[in-house]
């Protein structure tokens, strides 16, 4: 049998790229099949190098909120490219982007652009430590903030998928400064503050954790964190790399009405180009070099192509009121999948907020990492493969989140629900 082009490419990749991939979660480990290679993407569709077509619910892990290659973003990038690809000196688009972010996210008075979500959270931690002159950081089990040394402790996403929530290469001395607690457990936070009085620089979290599947904060959890941080003189950092500009114009902080001290942004903000940002009050942000003592820099930060792509995407989201549309599509998907599980004696747990969703293969409630781990990996793998073979591409790990885009249609969702329904019926849960 001749090898598919994807298999041939994956064999070649494994020779020259560790694991054959440039980010571990792309390796499809534990799913009983190899990854496929993409030829092109448009709207809500992907086409692989062997000509297979997929309805895509990964959306480049979040950035493709308008779908793939949206004409407004492509045109903006083309136009910017003709004026120069990188300057390494200020350009007007950086100011436009900073003004837009500050207008949309009121907790941000000043913002710095970086090149990834990892850079954004890493910089938030350094800034929080520099501002408070303290070293310890509280994070939550299953929350993933990129591959930042201090934050690869009980982390989610690929590190969790591949069984490495604590990475080799992170000095034990550094990891000891990170206190990992169960999400949604405010008593654990209070105890940690008590036991480490005057030592906590910051509490960092995804306000809606989306790197161990998707689960939600309990009522008042975020406000209680806000209160505890204020009382202890620690900074509250929201990692809104996933949720920023996706769930609402002002992100999760707008939805829950809780203002963090610092916010990390990424994904949607770059329109598919490598962009991150972090921001907060002027008082805190002024600690950054060259005004303050906390050093942070980047050759490509504020790159004109990236700014043009991000601005075009954000403005288009607002122009079409994408958040309302995305919520409507999300509701259709939820109804379609949950509707098919109504005949189950014990339906699986389906979570959705706006355009983010996740199906856990457990009938028990999911509210933190321990409860997310109740989901049965073998059932997830079978579900994933079944759907993929029928042209529906969900994230290749239980510990990730699904994303809808404004390019998905009700017909796409109907087809998806029919496929997902067949998969669920096969998994033997029907009464
Ligand atoms: N959940 C990850 C980002 N938030 C997936 C992307 C990756 O690790 O490559």
CATH number of the domain that residue 393 is part of = 3.90.1150.10
CB-based contacts of 215: which residues, under 8 Å, 6+ apart? 183, 208, 209, 351, 358, 366, 367, 368, 371, 372
Q: What is the Rg, in whole angstroms, of the alpha carbon atoms belonging to the chain?
A: 21
The average pLDDT across 188-200 equals: 98
Q: Please give the Cα distance from 311 to 318 (Å, whole number).
A: 11
Which pLDDT score is estimated for 159? Answer: 82
Any atom of ligand 1 within 6 Å of the Cβ of 301: no
pLDDT at 431: 45
Same domain, 172 and 24: no
Q: Domain containing 306: what range?
A: 71-319
**Within this chain, do residues 283 and 382 fall inside the same structural domain, yes or no?**
no
**What's the CATH number where 116 sits?**
3.40.640.10
Higher pLDDT, 30 or 408: 408
The H-or-E segment that residue 8 falls in is helix 5-16
Provide the number of structural domains found in the chain: 2
Of the candidates 287, 319, 351, which is a domain's last residue? 319
Give how far Cα 417 sits from Cα of 219, 343, 388, 392, Å. 30, 15, 13, 10
**Ligand 1 touching residue 403 (CB < 6 A):** no
Looking at residue 160, what is its pLDDT? 87
Strands 53-56, 392-393: pairing is: parallel
Please name which of 362, 341, 343, 202 lies closest in space to residue 280, comparing C-alpha atoms. Answer: 202
CA 185 remoteness from chain centre: 22
What's the pLDDT tens digit per position in 265-283?
Answer: 999 999 999 999 999 999 9
109 CB-contact burial (10 Å; exposed 0-12 / middle 13-18 / buried 19+): middle
- Specify the residue with its C-alpha closest to ligand 1, atom 1: 157
* SS3 state of residue 260: coil
Instruction: Identify the H or E element spanning 358.
Output: strand 356-360
Q: Rounded to the nearest 5°, which phi and psi values hold at 10?
A: -65, -40
pLDDT tens digits, one per residue of 324-374 = 999 999 999 999 999 999 999 889 999 999 999 999 999 999 999 999 999
- 346 and 199 in a common domain: no
Supply the pLDDT for residue 428.
Answer: 73
The ligand 1 atom nearest the CA atom of 242: 4
Domain boundary pick from 257, 288, 319? 319
Per-residue pLDDT of 113-128, as tens digits, reads 999 999 999 999 999 9
> DSSP letters along 229-246, please?
HHHHTPEEEEE-TTTBTT
- SS3 helix, strand, coil % of the chain, rounded to 5? 40, 15, 40
Shared domain for 133 and 188, answered yes or no, is: yes
The continuous run of DSSP H or E covering 305 comes out as helix 304-319
Q: Could you tell which of 64, 119, 121, 144 is best to mutate to test the pocket of ligand 1, judged by most ligand atoms within 8 Å of the CB? A: 144
For residue range 134-188, list pLDDT tens digits in order.
999 999 999 999 999 989 889 888 888 877 778 899 998 999 999 999 999 999 9
Six-digit token string for 62 = 């979040």
The answer to whether residues 257 and 130 belong to one domain is yes
Q: Is the CB of 217 under 6 A from ligand 1?
A: no
332 shares a domain with 313: no
User: Both tokens of residue 201?
Assistant: 């620089």
Average pLDDT value for residue range 125-132: 98
Kindly report the protein residue whose alpha carbon is nearest to atom 3 of ligand 1. 61
Q: Is the beta carbon of 283 within 6 A of some atom in ligand 1? A: no
**Residues 124, 127, 131, 136: is their CA dihedral positive or negative?**
positive
Q: How much is the pLDDT for 276?
A: 98
Answer yes or no: do 330 and 386 share one domain: yes
**Residue 216 has what pLDDT?**
98
Q: Which residues belong to the active site?
A: 144, 239, 267
pLDDT at site 363 = 95
Over residues 11-34, the pLDDT tens digits come to 999 999 999 999 999 999 999 999
Residue 68 pairs in a beta bridge with 43
Cβ 214 under 6 angstroms from ligand 1:
no
Token pair for 239: 């990692």
Cα 403 from Cα 275, distance rounded (Å): 19
% of the chain at pLDDT higher than 70: 99
Ligand 1 neighbour 220 (Cβ under 6 A):
no
Same domain assignment for residues 19 and 61: yes
What is the best residue among 17, 25, 239, 242 to mutate for testing ligand 1's pocket, by most ligand atoms within 8 Å of CB? 25
Are residues 114 and 247 both part of a single domain? Answer: yes
CA 57 to ligand 1 center in whole angstroms? 14
The pLDDT mean for the chain works out to 96
Ligand 1 centroid, distance to 227 Cα (angstroms): 30
Residues constituting the chain = 431
Q: What tokens were used for 200?
A: 């906590």
Strand, helix or coil for residue 374 = coil
Q: Which atom of ligand 1 is nearest to the CA of 144?
A: 4
CB of 61 sitting under 6 A from ligand 1: yes
Last residue in a domain, options 304, 319, 334: 319
Q: Is the CB of 27 under 6 A from ligand 1?
A: no
Give the Cβ contact number of residue 22 at 10 Å. 9
Are 189 and 261 in a shared domain? yes
Please tell me the distance between residue 142's alpha carbon and the centre of ligand 1 in angstroms: 13
What average pLDDT score do residues 62-78 get? Answer: 98
Asked if residue 118 has its Cβ within 6 Å of ligand 1, the reply is no
The helix or strand, by DSSP H or E, that contains position 205, with its residue range, turns out to be strand 200-205
Same domain (yes/no): 176, 202 = yes
For residue 90, what pLDDT is reported? Answer: 97
Structure tokens at 159: 């590190």
Ligand 1, atom 2: nearest CA belongs to which residue? 157
**pLDDT tens per residue, range 296-335:** 999 999 999 999 999 999 999 999 999 999 999 999 999 9
Is pLDDT of 430 > 60? no
140 upstream amide cis, omega within 30 of 0: no
Give the per-residue pLDDT at 429.
66
Which stretch of DSSP H or E encloses residue 201?
strand 200-205
- Determine the distance separating the centroid of ligand 1 and the alpha carbon of 146, expressed in angstroms: 8
Does residue 56 sit in the same domain as residue 161? no
* Probe residue for ligand 1, chosen from 22, 61, 205 as the CB with the greatest number of ligand atoms within 8 Å: 61
Task: Point out the ligand 1 atom lying closest to the alpha carbon of residue 158.
Answer: 8
């Amino acid at each position: 049998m001749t090898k598919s082009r994807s298999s041939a490419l994956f064999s070649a990749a494994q020779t020259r790229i560790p694991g054959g991939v440039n980010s571990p979660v792309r390796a499809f480990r534990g799913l009983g099949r190899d990854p496929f290679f993409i030829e092109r993407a448009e709207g809500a569709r992907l086409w692989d190098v062997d000509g297979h077509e997929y309805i895509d619910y990964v959306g480049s892990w979040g950035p493709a909120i308008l779908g793939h290659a949206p004409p407004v973003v492509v045109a903006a990038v083309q136009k910017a490219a003709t004026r120069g690809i990188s300057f390494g000196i200020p350009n007007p688009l950086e100011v436009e982007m900073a003004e837009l972010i500050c207008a949309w996210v009121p907790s941000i008075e000043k913002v710095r652009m970086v090149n990834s979500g990892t850079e954004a959270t890493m910089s938030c931690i350094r800034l929080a430590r520099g501002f408070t002159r303290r070293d310890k950081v509280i994070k939550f089990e299953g929350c993933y903030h990129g591959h930042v040394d201090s934050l690869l402790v009980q982390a989610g996403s690929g590190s969790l998928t591949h069984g490495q929530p604590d990475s080799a290469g992170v000095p034990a001395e550094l990891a000891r400064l990170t206190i990992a607690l169960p999400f949604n457990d405010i008593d654990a936070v209070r105890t940690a503050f008590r036991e480490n009085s005057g030592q906590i620089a910051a509490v960092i979290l995804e306000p809606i954790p989306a790197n161990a599947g998707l689960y939600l904060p309990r009522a008042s959890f975020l406000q209680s964190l806000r209160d505890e941080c204020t009382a202890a003189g620690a900074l509250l950092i929201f990692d809104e790399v996933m949720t920023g500009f996706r769930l609402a114009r002002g992100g999760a902080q707008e939805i829950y009405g809780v203002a963090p001290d610092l916010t990390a942004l990424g994904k949607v903000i770059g329109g598919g180009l490598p962009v991150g940002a972090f921001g907060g009050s002027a008082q805190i942000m002024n600690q950054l070099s060259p005004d303050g003592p906390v050093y942070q820099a980047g050759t490509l930060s504020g790159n004109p192509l990236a700014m043009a792509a991000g601005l075009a995407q954000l403005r288009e989201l607002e122009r079409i009121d994408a958040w309302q549309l995305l919520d409507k599509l999300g509701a259709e998907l939820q109804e379609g999948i949950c509707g098919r599980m109504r005949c189950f004696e014990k339906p699986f747990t389906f979570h959705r907020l706006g355009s983010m969703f996740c199906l856990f293969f457990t009938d028990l409630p999911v509210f933190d990492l321990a409860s997310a781990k109740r989901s049965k990996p073998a059932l997830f793998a079978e579900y994933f493969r079944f759907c993929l073979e029928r042209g529906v591409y969900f994230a290749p790990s239980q510990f990730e989140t699904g994303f809808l885009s404004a390019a998905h249609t009700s017909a796409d969702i109907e087809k998806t629900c029919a496929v997902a329904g067949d998969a669920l019926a096969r998994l033997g849960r029907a009464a």
